[in-house]
Structure 1
Amino acid sequence: MKKTEKIITNKIKINDRFWGRYLEVVRNHVIPYQWDALNDCLPDASPSHAIENFRIAAGESSDDYYGMVFQDSDLAKWLEAVSYSLENEPNPELEKIADEVIALFGRAQGEDGYLNTYYMVKEPNNRWTNIRDNHELYCAGHLIEAAVAYYQATGKKQFLDIMCKYADYIDSVFGPEEDKLKGYPGHQEIELALVKLYDVTGKEKYLDLSKYFIDERGKQPHYFDIEKKKRNDTKPFWFNDDYAYHQAHKSVREQKEAVGHAVRATYMYTAMTDLAVKTKDESLKKACEELWNNVTQKQMYITGGIGSMEFGEAFSFNYDLPNDLSYTETCASIALVFWANRMLQLDANNKYADVMELALYNGTISGMDLDGKKFFYVNPLEVQPEACEKRKDKKHVKSVRQKWFGCACCPPNLARLIASIGHYIYSQKEKEVFVHLYMGNETTVQIANNNVKLTQQTNYPWDGNVSMIVTPEREESFTVAFRIPGWAKGTVMKLNGEIIDHIPLIKNGYVYINRKWQENDHIELSFPMVVERIQSNPQVRHNVGKVALQRGPVVYCLEQVDNGENLHGLILPRNAELKANYNPDLLEGVVSITGDAERIDQTNWNDSLYRPVEDKTTSVQMKAIPYYAWCNRESGEMIVWVNEKR
């Protein structure tokens, strides 16, 4: 198998002001807070019981199983977040807790390798009878991902050995052989986890099993119907009796448009991309590219949110992007980051990194408040609290973040994403190093047996100036490719203080600098950070006549606390000057945007509901804050898209 691009994942020290604060919040607040949640120690919050379920499975508790069928995955994602945190900053006490949980897994695991507390406790005789609905393979996937991360962070093999034993057992159950089940998971996840397991073990059977699950999907007769008949289930499937919910309605290579559950879909697309990279499968590559274009050009919110429909937590149809009804689950934006990261391995193109960055700075971290103790499951682009309280069709939209959830997939998922942020900055391909994201960090990469130190300094995303020092142990010729974000018009680039004409060096949005690098070679990038008015494709009916504000990678919103009530009555004139100012005391330090706007006159209506048109407005000052930071002060209205006056 040919050598492929690898992600640079270890020995990255993040010293970035923006992401460093988030890493500290995850390390000092989120991980301990979620540990309490997993142990049912949060007052006035939905219980988890995840730890207790494993104790029951190990025969160490006589309590009853509690929680969703996928409750194990919450603990797995927490352990993965712990792994990345330990990678960033060793913590013997936290590592000891993780080791104790892993030892508990070992005691709970069956002799054949099986490890799923729901089936071990609740339905011990019904394994693999409903993989459409009951998440056995999904939970296995998250446990595998956690085991790989823990092994890479600590070098300890116990968790990895436990999960290899489980993966070997799964491989004995599923596959093309006559005596095996011809199934695949209802919730994709194990496919991408098996690729990670292959990467650290080198065992081809894990890659082959991942490929089997992907290739088998959608074949007829439909496996979900076969297992349904075996368990005497005669009910139609609740999602319009359509397996498009699981992206199992047709072969993955025939799918051109994203449909169904958004997280399932993007986890699957991530695995498809992984396999296209590893196996050089051109048909999979083409499918990934077509699906990417559909998602990002026709079904993605400006915040990097995906999955516009509450019914099925799903994609609906092209250009259907309602702001006040949007579902945009935190997990879906996280999955989009995963997928974008893999697409960059398929092809270094800034269109992938731009979306990855967009989701990171907007649709993911909006799912957690600034102190890491409350969370959004749903990330709307428009909120009116009274409507959320009284309208049934908006019951999924919350105007304030929650402590925890009965279905708590998002909080630990976000924790593991933030803790692993260093894994998304660089990648390497033979003698090429790609710089995808800009944040303060230090790392060392190896190029032709030469250790090369990379040091970034920046105040991104508030400032567009980036400094990068490249220091090889010895002089060496290689390439460093820098992403030029799609929003950065008029970028200036310097090498050792001299402006370089980078335009001829650009390929797919990356500037390729090939030279014999020497100690302390200095690259400077200056990205103009201007406030841009963004408009939607006119087929997005919800945003016609409206604009959103974006500065660099950060999307903005208006809150009632800054602009008063009835935000829908605000109008932003096309010629209004917009000013960006950094305020260190606002929302942990953000750039806010202010400008002159107009408000539709609300007086002199004399209790009329309708009247002939009168163009009467009053002048007001408008203030916008980063979308990710909304709902960190007092509760109230919020909008991203603002009426525009030409």
Structure 2
Amino acid sequence: MGQVASTDKAKPVSLKQVQITDDFWNYYINLVRDVVVPYQWEAINDNVEGAERSGAVNNFKIAAGLEKGDFYGYVFQDTDVAKWLEAVAYLLVTKRDAALEQVADEMIEIIGKAQQEDGYLNTYFTIKEPDMKWKNLTECHELYSAGHMIEAGVAYYEATGKRNLLDIVCRIADNIVDVFGDGPGQIAGYDGHQEIELALVKLYGVTGNEKYLELSRYFIDKRGHKPSFFEEEAERRGWTTHWNKNKIHIDHEYFQAHLPVREQNAAVGHAVRVVYMLAGMADVARETGDKSLLEACRRLWDNIASRQMYITGGIGSMAHGEAFSFDYDLPNDTVYSETCASIGLIFFAHRMLQLEPNSRYADVLERALYNTVIAGMSRDGKHFFYVNPLEVTPEVCDGRNKNFNHVKPVRQEWFGCACCPPNIARLLASLGEYMYSVKGNTIYSHLFIGGETELSLGGTNVRLNQQSSMPWEGTARYEVTVSQPATFALALRIPDWSSKAEVLVNGTAYSITDKVADGYAIIERQWTTGDTVELVLEMPVMRVRSHPLVKQNAGKVALQRGPLVYCAEEADNGPLLQRLMLPQDAQLEVAYDANLAGGLKVITAQALRLQLEQWGTQLYRTDSNVSLEPTVATFIPYYAWANRDKGEMAVWVKEHV
């Protein structure tokens, strides 16, 4: 097995070393702290009037013997509590909050009481089906749920130094080590929903216990081999299914178990599971130096990013199975594009940047972050999208066409299956982890987010103070403070949305013509305190067209400026957006609107609108005499849609030649 040398790996700069001061992103981080996390705590305690019941906290109380009652919710309901705790942990890193920490500690105490003597922790099986533990890994998310709790335990320990939840999750993992493997009496299988793989690597990272890393590798290596574990498991259980009274049908592609992971060439099946699996694969490749695993990650990344990803960074085009379909199948109105899938794509991109700093990963990370992820939450922090469409007609979504039942024209307060809201919270609370990484003597700047970062490089303490005007303007300025003069490189990403980049060092132009490697401008020199670097990126409004094989977008165009994808809304353009046409030669103007979604830049253009009056009652016509009237088309950032009255929305509009 080929190995990757440890010196070839980059290391992310931790959340503890970063203080974000960016106006754009601090709004969302403060929203998570002040609104989202408190709101979600109330939601998982069933205290939000009008929201779907959760039952998540009460399930733990029942399992702990503190309350009487029956289990409520999905088989994976425990993960809502785990992700909430993980988000709390990240918030405590950047700002200690004694009251919030006490609430978390009390919840952790309840979790500890719900844990069984052998380390097993799952309220569904403790309360409802104790005899079915580990008997339906295909459907019942036991390892998935354990993985989320392990992630929470690691994060809470790193944030507070308290071992209470870490000790709980170590016992969970120890139990899993005992249960799974190829030894006598062990289960030689894996979970239907990947998550445990990346969680075990995190636990290995904080404990140094190699059995956790080895178990993660075991789950990855075992997946997809014949005979089918899921079929053998179903046979032992009599082919029953958890979800209804029918016989279980196993679609191996849905579970990414159709082939061993190293032999898979295209992303198939449930989109969240794919990217969680790939994040775990990248983790194991990083820690073990497994080149074949890294090559599989590259191959599947290329398939997703070049053939199955929406312009917004959304993935998973089918509602059926919340899944990938096939290359270039990217419908806009029936799209699924689950918020969690884009978050998982960010997790995968972040890990690939550690394996090989390349701007193609950071470009996608940025695209998903600025578009799908923050579009998944309203500006009030209390309403959320599970599905992220690129075209919406409310009366179709609310009507009798069942193909659109999953698409919502407005964000919801909460969901019975509430994976997305706490996922958004934990990602935004940990945003500082995604900004920088260090490889050798090079500091890589992946995201243009204002803030201060402190790190150690070759015995020198380095502080970077980044000031960013993005996403509205294309400048980022870095001020360097060092404990002593030192020679190292600062690598600044040149994003795919900018056709021209200039660098100034201490106010003087610095040529990067032959200094761009893998999409990063490398500035290597001796640095002293007070040195500055400014990156100036051209940020035009770009007309984006799809590959010709994306038939849904044939003859259409979308607008993007910087990292932001734009869309047309009925509130600005009137109803029946399909009548809107954007001439190829239309001038695209950018203006600031202080009254919309906290202030943003809109794009306007002289456009055309198809007139309906001449059609009368005719359904079809043979003549070509159609009337077009001039109109002004307005486009707003996609992340800001659905923050006004319910109405139509479209990212792609017809292009008029």
The alignment status of 1:116 with 2:127, answered yes or no, reads: no
* CA distances 1:477-507 after superposition (whole Å, capped 9, x unpaired): 1121111101111111101111011121100
Partner residue of 1:151 out of 132, 150, 157: 157
Distance 1:215 1:420 in 2: 30
Partner residue of 2:296 out of 272, 287, 296: 287
Distance 1:426 1:159 in 2: 28
Question: Which amino acid is 1:2 matched to?
Answer: S
The alignment status of 1:484 with 2:489, answered yes or no, reads: no
Q: 1:565 to 1:240 in 2, by over 3 A?
A: farther
The alignment status of 1:100 with 2:110, answered yes or no, reads: no
> Offset of 1:607 from its aligned partner?
2.3
The alignment status of 1:387 with 2:396, answered yes or no, reads: yes
Distance 1:518 1:158 in 2: 44
Q: Which residue of 2 aligns with 1:20?
A: 26
SS in 2 for 1:244: coil
Is the 8 Å Cα contact of residues 315 and 337 (structure 2) preserved in structure 1? yes
Q: Which residue of 2 aligns with 1:132?
A: 138
> Offset of 1:458 from its aligned partner?
1.3
Distance 2:261 2:161 in 1: 36
> Offset of 1:604 from its aligned partner?
2.5
Q: Which residue of 1 aligns with 2:203?
A: 197
Partner residue of 1:206 out of 209, 212, 216: 212
Q: Which residue of 2 aligns with 1:2?
A: 6
SS in 2 for 1:297: helix
> Offset of 1:47 from its aligned partner?
0.6
Partner residue of 2:635 out of 601, 624, 631: 624
Q: Which residue of 2 aligns with 1:644?
A: 655
> Offset of 1:585 from its aligned partner?
2.1
Distance 1:192 1:388 in 2: 36
The alignment status of 1:607 with 2:612, answered yes or no, reads: no
Is the 8 Å Cα contact of residues 7 and 427 (structure 1) preserved in structure 2? yes
The alignment status of 1:329 with 2:338, answered yes or no, reads: yes
Q: Which residue of 2 aligns with 1:233?
A: 239
Q: 1:358 to 1:239 in 2, by over 3 A?
A: farther
Using the TM superposition, name which of 201-210 and 225-234 deviates more: 225-234
Q: Which residue of 1 aligns with 2:645?
A: 634
Is the 8 Å Cα contact of residues 310 and 396 (structure 1) preserved in structure 2? yes
> Offset of 1:85 from its aligned partner?
1.1
Partner residue of 1:46 out of 27, 52, 67: 52
Q: Which runs of 5+ in 2 are unaligned?
A: none
Distance 2:403 2:350 in 1: 34
C-alpha RMSD of matched pairs (Å): 1.3
SS in 2 for 1:323: coil
Q: 1:460 to 1:373 in 2, by over 3 A?
A: same
Distance 1:178 1:495 in 2: 64
Distance 1:238 1:249 in 2: 20
The alignment status of 1:267 with 2:276, answered yes or no, reads: yes
> Offset of 1:580 from its aligned partner?
1.0
> Offset of 1:601 from its aligned partner?
1.2
* CA distances 1:297-333 after superposition (whole Å, capped 9, x unpaired): 1000000000000000000000000000000000001
> Offset of 1:225 from its aligned partner?
1.2
Distance 2:557 2:126 in 1: 53
Q: Which residue of 1 aligns with 2:63?
A: 57
> Offset of 1:237 from its aligned partner?
9.6
Using the TM superposition, name which of 272-281 and 240-249 deviates more: 240-249
Q: Which residue of 2 aligns with 1:508?
A: 518
Q: Which residue of 2 aligns with 1:304?
A: 313
Is the 8 Å Cα contact of residues 240 and 246 (structure 2) preserved in structure 1? no
> Offset of 1:544 from its aligned partner?
0.4
* CA distances 1:504-542 after superposition (whole Å, capped 9, x unpaired): 110010111221111021000111111000000010000
Q: Which runs of 5+ in 1 are unaligned?
A: none
SS in 1 for 2:300: helix
> Offset of 1:610 from its aligned partner?
2.2
Is the 8 Å Cα contact of residues 10 and 356 (structure 2) preserved in structure 1? no
Q: Which residue of 1 aligns with 2:480?
A: 470
> Offset of 1:239 from its aligned partner?
9.2
Using the TM superposition, name which of 571-580 and 219-228 deviates more: 219-228
Distance 2:84 2:251 in 1: 33
Distance 1:512 1:164 in 2: 42
Pairs aligned (count): 646
Is the 8 Å Cα contact of residues 239 and 312 (structure 1) preserved in structure 2? no
Distance 2:203 2:528 in 1: 37
Using the TM superposition, name which of 306-315 and 217-226 deviates more: 217-226
User: Which aligned pairs between 1:371-410 and structure 2 lie closer than 5 A?
Assistant: 371-390=380-399, 391-410=401-420
> Offset of 1:608 from its aligned partner?
2.0
* CA distances 1:125-164 after superposition (whole Å, capped 9, x unpaired): 2110001100100000000111111111111111111101
Is the 8 Å Cα contact of residues 72 and 139 (structure 1) preserved in structure 2? yes
Distance 1:226 1:527 in 2: 56
Question: Which amino acid is 2:27 matched to?
Answer: R
The alignment status of 1:412 with 2:422, answered yes or no, reads: yes
Is the 8 Å Cα contact of residues 264 and 300 (structure 2) preserved in structure 1? yes
The alignment status of 1:84 with 2:90, answered yes or no, reads: yes
Distance 2:439 2:171 in 1: 32
Using the TM superposition, name which of 182-191 and 172-181 deviates more: 172-181
Q: Which residue of 2 aligns with 1:350?
A: 359
Q: Which residue of 2 aligns with 1:368?
A: 377
Q: 1:234 to 1:179 in 2, by over 3 A?
A: closer
Distance 2:639 2:182 in 1: 46
TM-score normalised over the length of structure 2: 0.97
Partner residue of 2:464 out of 437, 454, 464: 454
% same residue: 52
Partner residue of 2:587 out of 565, 577, 585: 577
Is the 8 Å Cα contact of residues 240 and 247 (structure 2) preserved in structure 1? no
Using the TM superposition, name which of 291-300 and 511-520 deviates more: 511-520
Is the 8 Å Cα contact of residues 230 and 250 (structure 2) preserved in structure 1? no
Question: Which amino acid is 2:648 matched to?
Answer: E
Is the 8 Å Cα contact of residues 17 and 459 (structure 1) preserved in structure 2? no
Distance 2:512 2:10 in 1: 24
TM-score normalised over the length of structure 1: 0.98
* CA distances 1:19-77 after superposition (whole Å, capped 9, x unpaired): 10000111111001100000000111111011100001101111111000000001111
> Offset of 1:179 from its aligned partner?
3.0
Is the 8 Å Cα contact of residues 6 and 427 (structure 1) preserved in structure 2? yes
Partner residue of 1:277 out of 279, 286, 289: 286
Distance 1:241 1:157 in 2: 40
Distance 2:240 2:42 in 1: 41
SS in 2 for 1:604: helix
Distance 1:207 1:16 in 2: 36
> Offset of 1:280 from its aligned partner?
1.1
* CA distances 1:386-445 after superposition (whole Å, capped 9, x unpaired): 110111110000111100011110000011111111110001123221100001110100
Distance 1:203 1:550 in 2: 46
Is the 8 Å Cα contact of residues 40 and 49 (structure 1) preserved in structure 2? yes
Distance 1:5 1:451 in 2: 18
> Offset of 1:234 from its aligned partner?
6.1
Question: Which amino acid is 1:531 matched to?
Answer: V
* CA distances 1:231-267 after superposition (whole Å, capped 9, x unpaired): 1116799897421111011100010000000000100
Distance 1:165 1:27 in 2: 30
Is the 8 Å Cα contact of residues 470 and 520 (structure 1) preserved in structure 2? yes
